[in-house]
A and B are shown apart, each in its own frame.
Chain A
Amino acid sequence: MNDAEIRRLACDLLAGIAPDTDPASLAGGADIREALDIDSIDFLNFVIALGKATGRTIPEADYARLFTMDGIAAYLRD
């Protein structure tokens, strides 16, 4: 997946978790947990969905790299 595809996927998944928000309008460096007001269960659901959509198992130790859109894009490109 290229950068734009990853960001679109992440936005779609986050919009499903926080339907009253617009993740696409987030700054790339904003903490999605703060900006979208999602809690640890929401974030876990996001990681599960991201893993299923990309076929990757994301270790818990890597969660901190997924707190921003830029981080998510960089992590999934690797």
Chain B
Amino acid sequence: MSDFVMPSLGADMESGKLAQWLVKPGSTVRKGDVIAVVETHKGAFEIDVFLEGVVSELCAKEGEELPVGALLARIATAGEEAAAPASPPAAPPPPVAAPAASPSPPTSTLLAERGAKAPAGPVPAPAKGPPVPAGERKKVSPAARRRARELGIDAETLAGTGIDGSVTLADVELAGAGRGKRETPAAGPAATEPKRRAGFDPDQMRRAIAAAMSRSKREIPHYYIGTTVDMAKARGFIEAYNSERPPEQRLLPAVLLLKATALALRDMPQFNGFWEDGRFRPGDGIHIGWAIALRGGGLIAPALRGVDRRSLAELMDALRDLVGRARGGGIRGSEMMEPTFTVTSMGDRGAESVFGVIYPPQVAILGFGRAVERPWVVDGRVVARPLVTASLAADHRASDGHAGSLFLAAVDRYLQEPEAL
């Protein structure tokens, strides 16, 4: 029997509200299945499981606010009898014993969560969740579910346009708008009502960011270094690549930045992992947290998994999916727990450089500014080139500026050979 506990979805999370169960006692679950929706200060997240088995008991009630590590459900893992009372726990119980007790410090709960999930092996890629077998509950993103409730619509009856066929917030809004038009043909108040984005409370989001970033600045001795990267080759590569493809297959510069970062992390693994209990623990794989600004304020940085091993086309699909779900409210809990490193990119309208604040317990964050056309010297001649400032903020306990410089140089080198990415 394994305990399924309230996961820690980041250093800033102390507790979460179990918003909804998507399984019942007796339900069979597989790795990667979403079995619950948990609401935190950063919005609603779909919580997936890391093991296979049968749900034997739901211990937490919908609507209950529980600390990280609190018991949510018991799952009889494969090979066990669901009813066998004497079987020893398959995973060590988390140190946070009493669910009613005050939340324990984030680091230890994060460790407990990672420790508990480690033996279960890798979860499948987020975008490729197992298909929902016929007869089972239709996939509905948490934000869509919430908005549907507000509008009095049954979300499960809608056609889903999400990447995996799930019903998204947009589907619900569309259904709501259509219905509103039918009921109020003369464009009544329903049509002019401002649309409210479901998913998170901006004030709570602000507090969550404040807690994590204060902890970072209090605990982590940051050092900052930067370098200028000539993006002419990367841009030329993307233009040629995109000119032969329809819009849905086109790449954005962001995926080249991501892949180059991942390959540099593979060369220099001391930047890919966590500072815990006074020492560095390398990440298991290169899972890059991508900072996504949310409409209405705030940001989250869910993981793109195994970035070093994926093609540019795969990364582009994964990135579009991730950003869409981040804004629509369909991010999974595992995606919030996994990042081993974070990248923050200002995009094509942002500032020219950014010096990030490390997301604890990670040990570094890489920032990319907006690409700008500037004079640049190539072979002794001044030419106009698109330039990007890449800045590294890193934990001085885990590395020094010399290693950081080598890391930035590696990122630059990979971006000069875009066809090899």
Contacts and interface: CB of A to CB of B under 8 A. Distances in A.
Interface of A: 15-16, 18-20, 33-34, 37, 39-41, 44-45, 47-48, 51, 57-61
Contacts of B323: 41
A60 B349 contact: no
Given A34-B349, A39-B347, A51-B246, A44 B252 contact: yes
Nearest to A59: B243
Contacts of B243: 59-61
Nearest to B168: A16
Nearest to B328: A19
19 contacts: A16-B170, A18-B295, A19-B173, A19-B195, A20-B194, A20-B295, A20-B296, A33-B349, A39-B293, A39-B348, A39-B349, A40-B254, A40-B347, A40-B348, A45-B324, A48-B248, A58-B247, A59-B243, A60-B242
A73 to B, nearest CB: 19
Looking at chain B, what size class is its interface with the partner chain? 20 to 34
A34 B350 CA distance: 11
Given A16-B173, A48-B247, A59-B243, A40 B252 contact: yes
A31 B242 CA distance: 23
A33 B293 CA distance: 15
Interface string B222-266: 000000000000000001001100111010111000000000000
Given A19-B170, A20-B197, 20 more contacts: A16-B173, A19-B169, A19-B197, A19-B295, A20-B296, A39-B348, A39-B349, A40-B253, A40-B348, A41-B252, A41-B319, A44-B320, A45-B320, A45-B324, A48-B248, A57-B247, A58-B247, A60-B239, A60-B243, A60-B250
A60 to B, nearest CB: 5
A45 B247 CA distance: 8
Contacts of B296: 20
Secondary structure dominating the interface of A: helix
Interface of B: 169-170, 173-174, 194-197, 239, 242-243, 246-248, 250, 252-254, 293, 295-296, 319-320, 323-324, 347-349
A57 B243 CA distance: 11
Contacts of A34: 349
Contacts of B324: 45
6 smallest A-B Cβ distances: which pairs? A48-B247, A60-B242, A39-B347, A19-B195, A47-B247, A41-B323
A39 B169 CA distance: 19
A34 B169 CA distance: 24
A47 B319 CA distance: 17
A39 B292 CA distance: 10
B147 to A, nearest CB: 10
Contacts of A41: 252, 254, 319-320, 323
Contacts of A16: 170, 173-174
Q: Which of A19, A57, A59, A60 has the most CB of B within 10 A?
A: A19
A48 B169 CA distance: 19
A39 B348 CA distance: 7
B143 to A, nearest CB: 10
B126 to A, nearest CB: 16
Nearest to B253: A40
Nearest to A36: B295
Contact of B295 (A37, A44, A45): A37
